[in-house]
Every structure is written in C-alpha cells, then in structure tokens.
Structure 1
Amino acid sequence: MLIMVAYPIGRILYISLTSNIMTRPDLGVQFIGLENYANLFTSMAFWETVGRTGAWTALSVGGKTAIALGIALLLARDIAFKRFYLILLMIPWVTPMVVAAVTWRWIFDGQFGMLNYILMQVNILQEPYVFLGHKMSAFIATAITDMWLGIPFLAMMFLAGLQSIPVELHESASMDGASKLQKFIHVTLPMMKPIILVATTMSGIWTFNSFGVIWPMTHGGPVDATQTLIVQAYKLSFGSFDLGMGAAIAVVIFIILTICTVLYKRLLMRQEEL
C-alpha cells in the first residue's frame, strides 16, 4: 500500500507545489508552494472546465440511468429470447473503452460516418454534418459514447434490484386498484431507491474521471468543447510538459473524487442500516 498508493499520492502532491517545466531544464525544479493552485483558481478557463466536466458527467450519468432503468424494466418481464438480449446487453461492457471510442468516432465521422449515411438516406440531412467538429454536437456525441459503455452495468444492477422486489407488493397494489404507472411510482421506485443512489454515485465517479472516451474521439476539442479536468491535466502534463500545473489539477480531481467516495460510503452505510 505504501509503494502503490501512498508514495504516488505523496509524489503528486509534492510536484503540484513545484514549478517543473520539462521543456525548460535550465529552470530546474523550484518549490513554489500554492502558486499553481492560486493560478488555477483565478483562471476563468479552469472554472469553465470544471463546469463543463460537471455538465458532461451529469448528461452521461443521467442518460445512462434513464435508459438502463428502462432496459431493466423490460428485461424484468417474462419475454421471449431474454437470454439473447442479456448477451447483447453485455457487448458494450466487455468492449475495451478505446476500441469503442474509435468505433464511435468512425460512426460520427463527417465524411464517411455511418450516422451521416443513414440520416442522408432517410432525407433528414441533405449533406454530411461534422458531428465532432461542432461544439454542442461533439459534447453530446462523446456523452452518448460514454452512455453506451456504461448502460450495461447500471442495467444489470437495476435488473437485480427489480427481481428482489417481493411479488406480494405488486399484487397488493393491483388488488387496491393501482395502475401500472402508480405501481411504478409508489412501489417500484421506493424499493429501487437505494440501488439507484448507489449505482448512479459509482457511475458518476467513473464518468467524472473518464479519459478513454474523450481523448480518442476529440482530444478535448473542438475549441476545448469536450475538455474535462482529466483531459486538461493530461494536456498540461504531457502536451505542455508543465508537470506542476498538471499535478495540481490531478490533486483537485483527487479531492473531488475523494469527497464523492466519502458520500458514496455514507449512502451505502445508511442503506445498510435501513
């Protein structure tokens, strides 16, 4: 633990307190205290990235949750070819993230992408549209890719939760004259609340720290439209070779995710007490 966890964290914390620009070896490594953090917190671009990261995470996690819950509700019913659908559902989960990102980048390609081809065939588009070349469409496209990768995990968790709900509760609600919508709102959702809270919290932590989707698809572009904190940290560290600033952003990410982890643990303990 000391070698694999404590030392790397301590090293990053130390680097974040230094001026360490690898392209300027003549300057050496200088201890500057909290100057990197001061520059970050007074930078409008940094706060824009924080807001963008939060918005991208909320869009992706919100989409995953809604779609996964819908899929789980369908698979919880007695339908034909259920095992086949479960196998199809697991394909995104077992697909390597980088492979999925490159595949979706081809789908959204402005010249030869499958999405453009389909939309032009049904006369929705008259000419190809560069989805990854415009700010809003690139933002949404990367979020859709992240959703595609994360939906299976949430769907399987929600399906397990739905199957654990006692049948007697739905039968009692039906005897009281409740409709399907009323049973969903007053029976299914309250029973699913603990699982939904835990699953979305975990998904939010993973999504906030996601790098393997955005970088292969857009490199944070166009014009930083898809640049999240993790992408900015990578660019500063291995693009500008400013290890001090890159480490400072990494520490900020670490603090944010630590807070999320503590909240997740408290939620989990609270649900266990209930």
Structure 2
Amino acid sequence: MLKPLRRFTLSPEKSPFFYLLPVLLFMSVMVAYPIARVLYFSFTQNILTRPDLGVTFVGLQNYVTLFQSAEFWATFTRTALWTGLSVAGKSLIGFLLAWLLAKEIAWKRFYMALLLIPWVTPMVVAAIAWRWVYDGEFGMLNWVLTELHMLSDHYVWLGHKLSAFVATAVTDMWLGIPFMAMLFLAGLQSIPREVLESADIDGASSFQRLRLIILPLMKPVILVATTLSAIWTFNSFGVIWPLTKGGPVNATTTLVVEAYQRSFGAFDIGMGSTIAIVIFVILMLFTLVYYRALMRREEL
C-alpha cells in the first residue's frame, strides 16, 4: 500500500525558516556583508591616494601597528573618559528630572513636552545650534556669563582643550537626557505604591527610601538605560564633528572620529577599517557583559 504524500505546509511551527528568510536576506545584505567587507579591508593596505600601491593583503599588520601606537591608546582613553562623563551626566540629571516628574506637580504634561524637545531635535541641528551658543564672539554663553559678571572677557569655549572636551560632552548630555529621564520615570512609576507607603509608615526618610527601596528596585531599568546610552555615546559622531571636528589639537577626537579621519580624511581605508573593527569588538564585548548581567538578574 502506498504511503500518502506528506502535505506541504507553510505553518510557522513546522517551517519557520521560510518566514525568517526575508529577515535573513535583509540582515545579510545590510549588516553581515558590510561588516565582512570592513573586516576584509582591515587586513589590507588600501590607500586611495596611492593607487600605485594597489590593495595589498597584510594580515594582522594593521592591528599590530594600531596597538603599538601611543596615539591610539590616547584616543581610546579620551573616548572612555568622554563617554563616562556624558553618560554620568545623563544618568544623574535624567534621574533627578524623573524624580521631580514622578511627583504630582502643576503643569506636569507641559514640562514633559519641553523635556522631549532635545530628543526630537536632529543631532546635527542641535550640534550647530550649540556651536553658536559656545561661539567666542557672539555666543549666548559668553553673553550670559558676562552679564552675571562671571567673565570679564569673551572666552573661546571650543578653542581650548579642556573646555572643548567638556562642551561637547554637555551637548551630548543635552541630547540624551530626555531618553534617560523617560526610562527612569517609567521605572519609578512601576514601583508599587504600597511599598513606598509602608516605608513612610515605618518612618523612613526620603534618603532611606531612595537608597533602600527605590534604587534596588530600579536596578534593571538603570542597567538598560546606562548600557544603551553608553553604546550610543561611544559611537557618537554627529555631536563632535559639527562642533570641533575632533579639535583643538585632537582634544575631542574619539575612536569614531579617528576612524572617519583615517578613512575619509587620509583615505587610508585599511587603517580606518581596522579602527572600525576595534570599535565593533569593544561594543560587542560591552553588550555581552550587559546581557550576562541582565540574565543573572532574571535568574535571581
């Protein structure tokens, strides 16, 4: 007796690959191929201004040269400090704003609408606007500080190493604070009101409620918010380049800016790709650490 033919089915439970195929094709073309291409270029000597040299496979030589460079480690340290300063500012100010907005205050919706303005402002537009604020001759910051008699003369904020470093970080904070505040506000509103009322009945002070109840319950939200913010800040290019282009004297040159300058300034595609792969690996390691920490919390 002949066995009946197995009926072809498009059920997701029995043939999920068919439904995942469009996504796999899209990810392959838009993500996997560019990464593989950049990885290949990182193993080559490819200087567009020297076509006579051609594209030469050099193996790990670009990585050896990069890691032996004192300039690379200085840029890496500068990137870590800039990212840490910006993320710390976003987290602290964002939590403070969320703490205030979580209370029953007048005009609450209006304040929340104002808070979202930096978030919806395009990054390059915001950077250009802040460049005018920092302008040494006609900038609003100099005018305000002069009127308050905190400055006796105009100061070129983007022309000095330390002030340019802090100014670019402040601009990045301004753009990222709304995201942090909204996440922290959602976390605060998810805390059961009964827990806070019990703490009030037990006589806990505001600081004790914050340290012993609110912050422990907010740890998952804080972990997610700071991790995402750190990844975005580490990759931030649209703030630094319109403001300072990495200057003055490389004071605001981060790894992303360095990769751009090598690739599209010096046209050294090989070394620029090498720096890009290093950035990719750093962010992947950071993401894995975040994932393990998140999974560990879910298991507890």
TM-score, normalised to structure 1, is 0.98
Equivalent in 17, 23, 36 of residue 43 of structure 2: 17
Q: Which region of structure 1 is more displaced relative to structure 2, 92-101 or 172-181?
A: 172-181
Cα distance between partner residues in 2 of 1:147 and 1:228: 16
Q: Report the equivalent of 1:145.
A: 171
- Deviation, structure 1 residue 263: 1.9
- State the one-letter code of the partner of 1:8: P
Identical-pair percentage: 65
- Deviation, structure 1 residue 102: 0.4
Cα distance between partner residues in 2 of 1:148 and 1:139: 15
Q: Report the equivalent of 1:195.
A: 221
Secondary structure of the structure 2 residue equivalent to 1:170: helix
Cα distance between partner residues in 1 of 2:229 and 2:66: 27
Contact 1:198 1:267 in 2 (8 A): no
Equivalent in 120, 138, 144 of residue 118 of structure 1: 144
Q: CA RMSD in A?
A: 0.8
Q: Provide Cα deviations, 1:21-40, integer angstroms capped at 9, x if missing partner.
A: 00000111000111111110
TM-score, normalised to structure 2, is 0.90
Equivalent in 88, 99, 122 of residue 73 of structure 1: 99
Q: Which region of structure 1 is more displaced relative to structure 2, 79-88 or 189-198?
A: 189-198
- Deviation, structure 1 residue 119: 0.6
- Deviation, structure 1 residue 51: 0.2
Cα distance between partner residues in 1 of 2:297 and 2:170: 31
User: Does 2:263 match 1:237?
Assistant: yes
- Deviation, structure 1 residue 166: 0.7
- Deviation, structure 1 residue 2: 1.5
- Deviation, structure 1 residue 270: 2.9
Cα distance between partner residues in 1 of 2:56 and 2:210: 60
- Deviation, structure 1 residue 267: 2.8
- State the one-letter code of the partner of 2:90: K
Structure number with larger C-alpha Rg: 2
Q: Provide Cα deviations, 1:100-128, integer angstroms capped at 9, x if missing partner.
A: 00000110011110000111111111110
Secondary structure of the structure 1 residue equivalent to 2:293: helix
Q: Which region of structure 1 is more displaced relative to structure 2, 157-166 or 258-267?
A: 258-267
User: Does 2:265 match 1:227?
Assistant: no
4+ runs deviating over 6 angstroms: none
